[in-house]
A and B are shown apart, each in its own frame.
Chain A
Amino acid sequence: MKLSRTEIAERLAGDFPDGAVVNLGIGLPTLVADYLPEDREIILHTENGMLGMGRAAAEDEIDGDLINAGKIPVTEPPGASYFHHADSFAMMRGGHIDYCVLGAYQVAINGDLANWHTGAPDAIPAVGGAMDLAIGAKHVYVMMDLFTKTGQCKIVEQCTYPLTGLGCVERIYTDMAIFELSEGQIRVLEIFADLDLAGLEEAMGLRLQDGLVAA
């Protein structure tokens, strides 16, 4: 069995501790906002200048001046604050954001992240805040499918796409398993696919450390 994207989001959202300040990247990671545990106070940061950001706005709540990094209208719950762009990125660069969740084209076992540019000659590159988040957040989590549509493993010995940040990724939440990276090694924390550790190693073509908690 593989996890759906919403199931990955839900699984990841459950790992933030009470009081965590979290930035969710645009695209897939935005889904995590829908599954934040209700018994914990998680403070969302958005790069365009808001802390304590609320959920997506309903049709009758849409306000063009109140949007998230993906330019989707959101809400302003009690306790929110606004600030300008230089302050917003100082929060990242200055190490004040506890967690960020980013999508990825590739993650290398040394924690290098490639998520902004395919390197294709006709591609128009667009980096946004990805490089700032990758080096700034205290914990960088990646959320992605483990394999591309054509069957390439997205966790690799060395990234072939242009890099976003060096040695920055700590955990990778995928449809098939959860991985933790440290000191050049990759540890499997949980497997969802119908595979054991050896089967997963074979599918990925990588040597994996056993970090599975006995059920």
Chain B
Amino acid sequence: MVNKRVGSAGEAVADIPDGATVMIGGFGKAGQPVELIDALLEHGAKDLVVVNNNAGNGTTGLAALIGAGQVRKMICSFPRQKDSQIFDERYRAGEIELEIVPQGNLAERIRAAGAGVGAFFTPTGFGTMLAEGKETREIDGRNYVLEYPIKADFALIKALKSDRRGNLVYRKTARNFGPIMAAAATTTIAQVDSVVELGELDPEAMVTPGIYVDRVLELPQDSVRMEGKAS
């Protein structure tokens, strides 16, 4: 019987090695799998390459992981925010590498990895410093830049509900990078509010089919969400 449930956040992340590339879902705090990140912090894997839209907000979650010195490199679109002080400090001290990627290219590079696409031409960034040194091509009178997929060893994402096969549905704008990161990582770990019986989730409204998900961790979140002001 397929059963992707794991018992604890610690167990879920226990095999993430030093030097792993880890995708972390979320846009700011919406969809950020805070408990899985906390477990990774405690687990202590270091020298990580982390893929996220941002580079941590405040002092918890991804910001705490960066603060603990476990992240060697960030791949993201928007590191600088009013509450990204932990990343800012490490970056200015030369203690963390940064690869800045336009957000749509970031999303499509992640999608391409999950879809088995070897590379793709995108108009985004053409003629800018973020395309310097990259191959370009004119197609039907428009200029494009060649971009390569971003794969990961692990993805840590957050969804609303799953079943034991790892089928996922999300909640509102907390969906963001979850579905594409799930497909792009060798091992995908989802934390969810609840794991329901097979058949309870509507197959017509399934967002991430379970084929992309390896482990699910049930962590009821209602209280957290309601006080959770996004910042």
Contact = CB atoms under 8 A, between A and B. Distances in A.
A39 interface: no
Interface residues of B, number: 53
Contacts of B127: 163, 165-166
B231 A71 contact: yes
Given A64-B225, A86-B111, A126-B80, A131 B128 contact: yes
Interface stretch (B14-22, B101-109, B133-141, B195-203): B101-109
Contact of A48 (B79, B81, B176, B207): B176
A83 to B, nearest CB: 7
Nearest to A67: B230
Interface string B103-129: 111111011000000000011111111
B161 interface: no
Given A48-B27, A65-B31, A84-B175, A124 B80 contact: yes
Contact of A49 (B80, B111, B176): B176
B123 A93 contact: yes
Size bracket, chain A contacts: 35 or more
Nearest to A84: B179
A65 B225 contact: yes
Nearest to B29: A64
Nearest to A166: B127
Interface in A30-50: 46-50
Contacts of A166: 126-128
Contacts, number: 153
Contacts of B124: 93, 131-132, 135-136
Given A71-B28, A124-B91, A85 B172 contact: no
Given A47-B103, A124-B79, 18 more contacts: A62-B229, A63-B225, A64-B29, A64-B174, A64-B229, A65-B174, A67-B27, A86-B108, A89-B107, A93-B122, A124-B92, A125-B79, A128-B77, A129-B103, A132-B103, A136-B104, A162-B128, A165-B128
Interface of A: 46-50, 62-67, 71-73, 76, 82-86, 88-90, 92-93, 117, 122, 124-132, 135-136, 162-166
Interface of B: 27-31, 53, 77-81, 88, 91-92, 98, 100-108, 110-111, 122-130, 170-180, 207, 225-226, 228-231
Q: Which 5 A-B pairs have the closest CB atoms?
A: A89-B104, A64-B228, A132-B104, A126-B80, A86-B111
